A and B are shown apart, each in its own frame.
Chain A
């Protein structure tokens, strides 16, 4: 259920590393807690963010949830498909429901994130 090849933040974002670029999304657990996502406010291209900054807002029927930058960097791409189909975040949180990509400014921050096993324990404690 929880992809082994990703890194995870305590606030339920995931990161997929490809060279110096990180793709960021929210986890299955996070989308399930939010339920039906109806709007995603994505960051802007070239926006710079520090680790832990509010970087996007995921809105479900119920609430608006902030998403925090799991690592620092500069935004290089946003998932434009979310504009027409925000529920991609629910249907495919680790795939087509990605939120944005950023160019890492400090790759050592990846060490502060959890691996799949630690994240599994983390959500077991949150539940």
Chain B
């Protein structure tokens, strides 16, 4: 069965094109992906991200339990702090990438990818001490992301509270079970708002009235690609370690035991097999997932995500390449049998405007 978010009627009214995404009927675009992209980069856009899984972890020992599941430090998280991390399997591969918000001591909101929600719930249940510790509130809550340079006045208006001082990667609990965090997946200033199921519609509609452009998954993917943010199933999966994926900064090997530590420690000492790079085409073309990379005639890696950057007006991509690769010839990306010249470019591909 395909799930619908509480904003489904709003999407239909706005003539959204709906697609099945990880078991959810989601808007891929409303008017135009390019216009939605532009709204986020230049003014403000609003995304329905209610399909993402929301786990509430609480009870004595929740922090300790969570800490065993992720390679990042958890014990230093104070109420109101948000942290990006991953969940690893025993081999150090990535089961999911997640956003953790510390709500209060031993109480956390963990936002997971829709496609990994069931898998991750089982994994958490298996490894947390008591089963009552995790409550999956995905279907009882909803979530929107308000993103773009003009999102601060809009979010402040929505809650009748000046939120301009909320720092990047900090969250605030408002009355009525509403959480606002200064986070996002676009590289712009922005907020993510989690509310009980019934409260989201009026927030969405008021944000649109205040000038936020409804944006779908299409523009979201381009925005994150320009930032070089990983997307699960592309830059990350069970066979890719966070070290290979360029997420060494979420791995704290000095931390007490956590799942995957042994494998990651070993990889850290002996060296990874692959690493993630970004590239930009120097000629016309659009790379897509799976396109091979060549250094001269030698195949050196494979594209994990690719697309067209509206800002650069060029094709850009991310790829996993051999760890020890050093460029000796001309870099190219094979698109439909033709080698298109490219250059290595360290993401973000365009300037990041988050307030961090």
Contacts and interface: CB of A to CB of B under 8 A. Distances in A.
Nearest to B29: A35
Contacts of A83: 284
Nearest to B307: A61
**Interface extent on B, as a size class?**
10 to 19
Contacts of B28: 62
A17 interface: no
A36 B222 CA distance: 13
B111 interface: no
Interface in B284-341: 284-286, 288, 307-308, 310, 315, 336
A59 interface: yes
A59 B308 contact: yes
Contacts of B308: 38-39, 59, 61
A52 to B, nearest CB: 18
A38 B32 contact: no
Contacts of A59: 286, 308
A83 B286 CA distance: 13
B34 interface: yes
B218 interface: yes
Contacts of A57: 336
Majority SS at the chain A contact face: strand
A107 to B, nearest CB: 30
Contacts of A60: 33
Interface string A29-48: 00000011011010000000
Contacts of B33: 35-36, 60-62
A39 B286 contact: yes
A39 B284 contact: yes
Given A61-B33, A62-B33, A38 B218 contact: no
A24 to B, nearest CB: 19
Given A38-B308, A39-B308, A59-B308, A64 B32 contact: no
Nearest to B338: A41
Contacts of B307: 61
B8 to A, nearest CB: 20
Given A35-B32, A39-B308, A57-B336, A62 B286 contact: no
Interface string B236-280: 000000000000000000000000000000000000000000000
Interface string B18-29: 000000000011
Contacts of A64: 286, 288
Contacts of A41: 285, 336
Contacts of A38: 34, 286, 308, 310
Contacts of A61: 33-34, 37, 218-219, 222, 307-308
A36 B32 contact: yes
Interface string A68-83: 0000000000000001
Contacts of A35: 17, 29, 32-33, 218
A85 B218 CA distance: 21
Among A38, A57, A59, chain B packs the most CB atoms within 10 A around the CB of A38
A119 B285 CA distance: 31
Contacts of B218: 35, 61-62
Contacts of B222: 61
A2 to B, nearest CB: 21
A57 B287 CA distance: 13
B281 to A, nearest CB: 10
A57 B285 CA distance: 10
A61 B309 CA distance: 9
A30 B308 CA distance: 20
A35 B219 CA distance: 12
B32 A39 contact: no
A62 B33 CA distance: 9
Contacts of B310: 38
- Those 5 A-B pairs whose CB atoms lie nearest each other, nearest first: A61-B33, A36-B34, A38-B308, A59-B286, A36-B33
Given A35-B218, A60-B33, A61-B37, 15 more contacts: A35-B17, A35-B33, A36-B32, A36-B33, A38-B308, A39-B284, A39-B286, A59-B308, A61-B33, A61-B34, A61-B218, A61-B219, A61-B307, A62-B28, A62-B218
11 contacts: A35-B17, A35-B29, A59-B286, A59-B308, A60-B33, A61-B218, A61-B219, A62-B28, A64-B286, A64-B288, A83-B284
Interface of A: 35-36, 38-39, 41, 57, 59-62, 64, 83
